[in-house]
Amino acid sequence: MADDYQRVEAHDCPMSTCAAPAGSPCRTTKGRVAIQYHTARFRLVPQLAKALNVPVPPVRKPGTAWVELPRPAGASAEPVGHVRIGYARASTARQSLDTQLDSLHEHGITRVFSEKISTRATKRPELEKAVTLAREIRASGVRVTVVVHEHKRLGRGIDLATLAEDLKAGDIGLEFLTGELKGSHDPSGVVFTVLAALSGMEREYIRDRTLEGHESARTRGKSIGGASVTDDAMLAMALHLRGQEMSLRDIAAKLVITTGKKKGQHPSPATVMRMLREHNDQTAQAAVAGGE
């Protein structure tokens, strides 16, 4: 819609590399007006939360030198009101949610999402609903906090850190009623910063262990991985989309596997990252060889 950009620009961009204030378009790391708004920013708008990308309109002159524009009236106003949304989870059907639900109700939480699902599950429908609702309410100008009995109910390690990153992007607070992280935590606070750091450390640890395992397997003459789901056409499209500063997740959502058992499906963001990284490595090696 023609006024989508105005809805997006009603919010500051959460991306630290951009940080465009309300009223201004997003910017690139090279100080130019971006050709599309950063995902973390346009998803603050409920109507655009599921969009793959939102282009910056011609009126903002994408590609030109970025300058800060006047903030719209009321954009800097403090949030009005405060909504607390509860979440409870048990790992198995036999476990009871009563303790968590009672604790949430005792603390005045009336809107609670709950489910019985393993920590290992990659998707938690009720948690996703809670976060979606929180984003929608926050976009209306109301302060929002997701409240959980204990941080372990949200997940552990990289899962918890990734969720914290999503909440921070939406300017949504966290509150734990008990446990090691008991208390209320602002998105700009130390807990979010620590969780983000832990997320990066754990990703790096997993990557290093994986590479060590691959190298060990190669020395024993074992092949690594299954049939490739990427091809030259997919790489070309991925490079084009990367040039538009799209995230790996959004790039993956636009690509389609054309052969093999996964034909018709989208590749994972990790697959896209690996494909682009291998392309970068090959390009760098070719440049070095050409200069010799």
DSSP, collapsed to helix, strand or coil, labels residue 147 as strand
Quick: pLDDT tens for 41-70: 888 887 787 788 899 999 999 999 999 988
- Token pair for 244: 């538009």
Q: How many domains does the chain have?
A: 3
CA distance linking residue 240 with residue 200, whole number of Å: 27
CA distance linking residue 14 with residue 30, whole number of Å: 18
Q: Which of 72, 102, 134 is the last residue of a domain?
A: 72
Report the candidate in 250, 253, 272, 276 with the shortest Cα–Cα distance to residue 54. 250
Say yes or no: 62 and 86 in one domain: no
Q: Give domain status of residue 225, yes or no.
A: no
Contact, 113 vs 89, CB < 8 A? no
What local confidence, expressed as pLDDT, does residue 235 receive?
85
Expressed as residue numbers, the domain containing 91 is 82-196
What local confidence, expressed as pLDDT, does residue 98 receive?
92
Handedness of CA 279, 280, 281, 287 (dihedral sign): positive
Q: Which of 16, 24, 76, 91 is catalytic?
A: 91
Quick: pLDDT tens for 180-215: 778 888 876 666 666 655 544 444 555 556 666 656
CATH classification at residue 87: 3.40.50.1390
Say yes or no: 105 and 160 in one domain: yes
Minimum mean pLDDT range among 14-18, 32-36, 115-119, 156-160: 156-160
Has 91 been annotated as catalytic? yes
Mean of per-residue pLDDT scores for the chain: 79
Higher pLDDT, 63 or 262: 63
What local confidence, expressed as pLDDT, does residue 126 receive?
92
CA distance linking residue 247 with residue 11, whole number of Å: 19
